[in-house]
Amino acid sequence: MLMGDTVGDASGGTEAAHIPVMLDRIVELLSPALTRPGAVFVDGTLGLGGHAEAMLTAHPELRLVGIDRDTTALQRSRRRLAPFADRVDFAHAEYDDIPRVLDDLGITDVQAILLDLGVSSPQLDEAERGFAYSYEASLDMRMDRTQDLTAADVVNTYSAAELTRILRDYGEERFAARIAQTIVRERAKQRIDSTRLLADLVREAIPAATRRTGGNPAKRTFQALRIEVNAELTILERTLPAAIGRLAIGGRIAVLSYHSLEDRLTKRALTALATDTTPPDLPVPLPEAQPELRLLTRGSEQPSDQENERNPRAASARLRAAERVRAPRN
């Protein structure tokens, strides 16, 4: 759900200005699975409902299950999708809860699933959410504001070693140890509660020559903290097999990622199930080792140059999709 939700116009408000990433391509990829009456589409990261609205419009008999961890996003998508209310079920949940949500609704399997990962533009653009280093705000970064852990908690309570690991693994920050030590020294003097203070500390920790190139030096630190606070990679790792497991034969899944860590997990999960696992020394393929999935994209697809011009936040998007072609392996 990152970078696809652009907000802010004086007349239409948040919902009106929402620009879903790679919308036409996602509709194209998922639609072949949604032609029968009563088909079920799960949007596991509903956000402002732009992708969902397009799918409901394209398929007048489609049933949508819309899931989001952000209660504010759910409120806004309810307004946007009000014309389709009789065909929509909303759920406040993490996207790894797709099986439970479907069980609660009495749905066994589904025809299509979309995961649009990361942080949405409303979350970035609303200063009080604390996601952006460009605003002065409290260090929050919770997608689900009903959870307890905030970015301030991480910054002020994690050890230097833990902070270093998070910044290195989730932010791919080469100066992770220097930044972690700077944070630890500063918090001994005062609690670090502000996005501006944290951004200034990161800038101070990074060598001057590096600060002059590559954009805001705090970008990778803020990404890493956001991923930690929201357990994004842990949840995604659980979600992919759980979601794929609920696809009907002929059902399709599409995943939009916005950084290499997400895309790597997605690639690994889809490729593993799209691979014949017959031992190479056997003369014929084993029926039980045949692929469950057929990949629908060659590698990861990216937005067009025209889309990136219209919506610069789409530029980092990577799309992968697959179709279930046989029942799960035992």
Domain residue ranges of the chain, discontinuous segments joined by +: 13-122+232-324, 133-230
Give the residue-averaged pLDDT of 181-195: 96
pLDDT of residue 214: 65
Does 276 show up as a binding residue in the annotation?
Answer: no
Sheet holding 63-68, edge to edge: 88-92, 63-68, 40-43, 110-116, 247-257, 318-324, 293-295
Give the residue-averaged pLDDT of 101-118: 95
Q: Does the pLDDT at position 15 exceed 50?
A: no
Does 123 show up as a binding residue in the annotation?
Answer: yes
Q: Does the pLDDT at position 11 exceed 50?
A: no
DSSP three-state, residue 179? helix
Does 306 show up as a binding residue in the annotation?
Answer: no
Mean pLDDT for the chain?
Answer: 89
Does 95 show up as a binding residue in the annotation?
Answer: yes
CB atoms closer than 10 angstroms to residue 11: 6
Are the beta carbons of 180 and 167 closer than 8 angstroms?
yes
Please tell me the pTM assigned to this model.
0.88
pLDDT of residue 123: 62
Confidence grade of residue 6 (pLDDT, cut at 50, 70, 90)? very low
pLDDT of residue 130: 64
Give the residue-averaged pLDDT of 208-216: 73
Does 68 show up as a binding residue in the annotation?
Answer: yes
Candidates 264, 269, 271, 249; CA nearest to 318 is 264
For tokens 């609920």, name the residue: 246
DSSP code for 130: -
CA distances (Å), origin 17, targets 152, 209, 257 = 31, 38, 21
pLDDT of residue 144: 86
CATH 2.40.50.700 matches 133-230? no
Does 59 show up as a binding residue in the annotation?
Answer: no
13-122+232-324 against 133-230: fold identical:
no
Percent of the chain with pLDDT over 70: 88
Confidence grade of residue 8 (pLDDT, cut at 50, 70, 90)? very low
Q: Does the pLDDT at position 1 exceed 60?
A: no
For domain 13-122+232-324, which CATH number applies: 3.40.50.150, 3.30.1490.20, 2.170.130.10, 3.20.20.70? Answer: 3.40.50.150
pLDDT of residue 260: 92
